[in-house]
Amino acid sequence: MAAPTRATFAAGCYWGTEHFFLRHFKSAIVTHKVGFMGGREEETMSYDEVKKGTTGHAEVFDFTYDPSKTSYADLLAFFFRMHNSTTPNRQEGDIGTNYRSAIFYHTDEQKQEAEDYIAKLNGADEKLHSAFARAFGGAACITSVEKAGRFYPAHEAHQDYLEKNPNGYCAHRIYF
Protein backbone atom coordinates (compact mmCIF):
# COMPACT_ATOMS: atom_id res chain seq x y z
CA MET A 1 0.00 0.00 0.00
CA ALA A 2 1.19 3.49 -0.85
CA ALA A 3 1.29 6.08 1.94
CA PRO A 4 -2.31 7.16 2.64
CA THR A 5 -3.33 10.60 1.36
CA ARG A 6 -5.88 12.82 3.10
CA ALA A 7 -8.95 14.30 1.38
CA THR A 8 -11.89 16.31 2.72
CA PHE A 9 -15.17 16.99 0.90
CA ALA A 10 -18.35 18.83 1.86
CA ALA A 11 -21.36 17.75 -0.21
CA GLY A 12 -24.32 18.52 2.01
CA CYS A 13 -25.24 16.12 4.79
CA TYR A 14 -22.05 14.38 5.84
CA TRP A 15 -23.50 10.96 6.48
CA GLY A 16 -24.79 10.70 2.91
CA THR A 17 -21.40 11.79 1.59
CA GLU A 18 -19.70 9.20 3.78
CA HIS A 19 -22.11 6.45 2.69
CA PHE A 20 -21.71 7.13 -1.03
CA PHE A 21 -17.91 7.39 -0.90
CA LEU A 22 -17.55 4.22 1.16
CA ARG A 23 -19.81 2.26 -1.19
CA HIS A 24 -18.03 3.51 -4.30
CA PHE A 25 -14.38 3.38 -3.20
CA LYS A 26 -14.61 0.41 -0.81
CA SER A 27 -11.07 -0.73 0.02
CA ALA A 28 -9.34 2.41 -1.28
CA ILE A 29 -10.48 4.36 1.81
CA VAL A 30 -8.15 3.62 4.71
CA THR A 31 -9.61 5.76 7.53
CA HIS A 32 -12.63 8.06 7.68
CA LYS A 33 -14.72 10.29 9.92
CA VAL A 34 -17.52 12.76 9.43
CA GLY A 35 -17.33 16.13 11.10
CA PHE A 36 -16.91 19.86 10.55
CA MET A 37 -14.37 22.12 8.87
CA GLY A 38 -14.13 25.59 7.42
CA GLY A 39 -15.38 27.80 10.22
CA ARG A 40 -14.11 29.56 13.30
CA GLU A 41 -11.69 27.64 15.45
CA GLU A 42 -12.79 26.70 18.95
CA GLU A 43 -11.65 24.11 21.48
CA THR A 44 -14.66 21.96 20.59
CA MET A 45 -17.41 22.08 18.00
CA SER A 46 -20.74 20.28 18.09
CA TYR A 47 -23.44 19.42 15.60
CA ASP A 48 -25.90 21.57 17.54
CA GLU A 49 -23.60 24.60 17.19
CA VAL A 50 -22.87 24.02 13.49
CA LYS A 51 -26.50 23.52 12.47
CA LYS A 52 -27.35 27.00 13.81
CA GLY A 53 -25.31 28.39 10.89
CA THR A 54 -23.23 30.79 12.97
CA THR A 55 -19.91 28.93 13.08
CA GLY A 56 -19.08 28.97 9.36
CA HIS A 57 -18.39 25.22 9.32
CA ALA A 58 -19.44 22.77 6.64
CA GLU A 59 -20.37 19.17 7.29
CA VAL A 60 -17.48 17.18 5.84
CA PHE A 61 -16.33 13.69 5.04
CA ASP A 62 -12.65 13.59 6.05
CA PHE A 63 -10.67 10.51 5.06
CA THR A 64 -7.40 8.99 3.96
CA TYR A 65 -7.16 6.86 0.85
CA ASP A 66 -4.63 4.59 -0.78
CA PRO A 67 -3.38 6.40 -3.93
CA SER A 68 -2.35 3.05 -5.42
CA LYS A 69 -6.06 2.10 -5.50
CA THR A 70 -7.63 5.39 -6.59
CA SER A 71 -6.57 8.90 -7.56
CA TYR A 72 -7.58 12.33 -6.34
CA ALA A 73 -8.96 12.93 -9.85
CA ASP A 74 -11.27 9.92 -9.42
CA LEU A 75 -12.38 11.20 -6.02
CA LEU A 76 -13.16 14.62 -7.53
CA ALA A 77 -15.12 13.14 -10.41
CA PHE A 78 -17.24 11.09 -8.02
CA PHE A 79 -17.74 14.02 -5.62
CA PHE A 80 -19.29 16.10 -8.39
CA ARG A 81 -21.49 13.24 -9.64
CA MET A 82 -23.05 12.44 -6.23
CA HIS A 83 -24.34 15.84 -5.14
CA ASN A 84 -25.68 19.09 -6.55
CA SER A 85 -22.79 21.55 -6.67
CA THR A 86 -24.92 24.30 -8.25
CA THR A 87 -27.02 25.29 -5.23
CA PRO A 88 -25.56 27.63 -2.62
CA ASN A 89 -25.78 26.29 0.92
CA ARG A 90 -28.27 23.58 0.05
CA GLN A 91 -28.72 19.93 -0.83
CA GLU A 92 -32.40 19.23 -1.49
CA GLY A 93 -34.20 19.78 1.85
CA ASP A 94 -30.99 20.47 3.79
CA ILE A 95 -30.52 24.24 3.87
CA GLY A 96 -27.76 26.25 5.56
CA THR A 97 -24.09 27.16 5.23
CA ASN A 98 -23.14 23.82 6.80
CA TYR A 99 -24.59 22.09 3.70
CA ARG A 100 -22.46 23.98 1.18
CA SER A 101 -20.50 22.27 -1.55
CA ALA A 102 -16.80 22.65 -0.78
CA ILE A 103 -13.47 20.98 -1.34
CA PHE A 104 -10.98 21.41 1.48
CA TYR A 105 -7.52 20.98 0.00
CA HIS A 106 -4.54 19.67 1.94
CA THR A 107 -1.89 20.34 -0.74
CA ASP A 108 -1.35 22.84 -3.54
CA GLU A 109 -1.76 19.94 -5.99
CA GLN A 110 -5.23 19.15 -4.62
CA LYS A 111 -6.17 22.82 -4.89
CA GLN A 112 -5.07 22.97 -8.53
CA GLU A 113 -6.82 19.72 -9.44
CA ALA A 114 -10.05 20.92 -7.82
CA GLU A 115 -9.95 24.31 -9.55
CA ASP A 116 -9.19 22.66 -12.90
CA TYR A 117 -12.06 20.20 -12.51
CA ILE A 118 -14.52 22.98 -11.66
CA ALA A 119 -13.36 24.86 -14.76
CA LYS A 120 -14.06 21.74 -16.84
CA LEU A 121 -17.56 21.44 -15.39
CA ASN A 122 -18.16 25.10 -16.20
CA GLY A 123 -17.15 24.81 -19.85
CA ALA A 124 -13.43 24.12 -20.25
CA ASP A 125 -14.19 20.50 -21.21
CA GLU A 126 -17.09 20.28 -23.66
CA LYS A 127 -18.06 16.66 -22.99
CA LEU A 128 -17.95 16.96 -19.18
CA HIS A 129 -19.68 20.34 -19.25
CA SER A 130 -22.45 18.94 -21.44
CA ALA A 131 -23.18 16.07 -19.03
CA PHE A 132 -23.05 18.42 -16.05
CA ALA A 133 -25.30 21.00 -17.74
CA ARG A 134 -27.88 18.33 -18.61
CA ALA A 135 -27.94 17.08 -15.02
CA PHE A 136 -28.35 20.55 -13.50
CA GLY A 137 -30.35 22.50 -16.04
CA GLY A 138 -27.39 24.53 -17.28
CA ALA A 139 -26.49 25.96 -13.85
CA ALA A 140 -22.84 26.62 -13.04
CA CYS A 141 -20.79 24.71 -10.48
CA ILE A 142 -20.31 26.97 -7.45
CA THR A 143 -18.29 24.62 -5.23
CA SER A 144 -15.80 26.52 -3.10
CA VAL A 145 -12.18 25.44 -2.87
CA GLU A 146 -10.94 26.17 0.63
CA LYS A 147 -7.70 25.48 2.49
CA ALA A 148 -8.21 22.65 4.95
CA GLY A 149 -8.27 23.78 8.54
CA ARG A 150 -8.99 22.18 11.85
CA PHE A 151 -11.23 19.13 11.64
CA TYR A 152 -13.80 18.55 14.36
CA PRO A 153 -15.18 15.01 14.40
CA ALA A 154 -18.94 14.65 14.77
CA HIS A 155 -20.27 12.66 17.71
CA GLU A 156 -20.16 8.88 17.49
CA ALA A 157 -23.86 8.49 16.65
CA HIS A 158 -23.23 10.29 13.32
CA GLN A 159 -20.20 8.17 12.34
CA ASP A 160 -21.28 5.48 9.83
CA TYR A 161 -24.83 6.72 10.40
CA LEU A 162 -26.44 5.15 7.32
CA GLU A 163 -24.78 1.82 8.07
CA LYS A 164 -26.35 1.91 11.53
CA ASN A 165 -29.64 3.35 10.20
CA PRO A 166 -30.15 1.95 6.68
CA ASN A 167 -33.51 3.70 6.28
CA GLY A 168 -32.12 7.08 7.40
CA TYR A 169 -32.55 10.25 5.37
CA CYS A 170 -30.14 10.80 2.49
CA ALA A 171 -30.36 13.51 -0.20
CA HIS A 172 -27.48 12.15 -2.28
CA ARG A 173 -27.73 10.30 -5.57
CA ILE A 174 -25.76 9.85 -8.78
CA TYR A 175 -26.69 12.77 -11.04
CA PHE A 176 -24.62 12.05 -14.15
Flag whether 73 is in a domain. yes
Is 143 inside any structural domain?
Answer: yes
Q: What is the CATH number of the domain that holds 111?
A: 3.30.1060.10
Residue 173 domain flag: no
Decide if 175 is inside a domain. no
- Residue 13 is among the residues annotated as catalytic for this protein: yes
Number of domains in the chain: 1
Alpha-carbon distances, residue 5 vs 32, 70, 113, 118, 134 (angstroms): 12, 10, 15, 21, 33
114 occurs within a structural domain = yes
The tens place of each residue's pLDDT in the chain, 176 residues long, gives 889 999 999 999 999 999 999 999 999 999 999 999 999 999 999 999 999 999 999 999 999 999 999 999 999 999 999 999 999 999 999 999 999 999 999 999 999 999 999 999 999 999 999 999 999 999 999 999 999 999 999 999 999 999 999 999 999 999 99
pTM surpassing 0.95?
A: yes
Of 11, 13, 28, 29, the active-site residue reads 13
In a domain, residue 130? The reply is: yes
Q: Could you list the residue range(s) of the whole structural domain that residue 138 is in?
A: 5-164
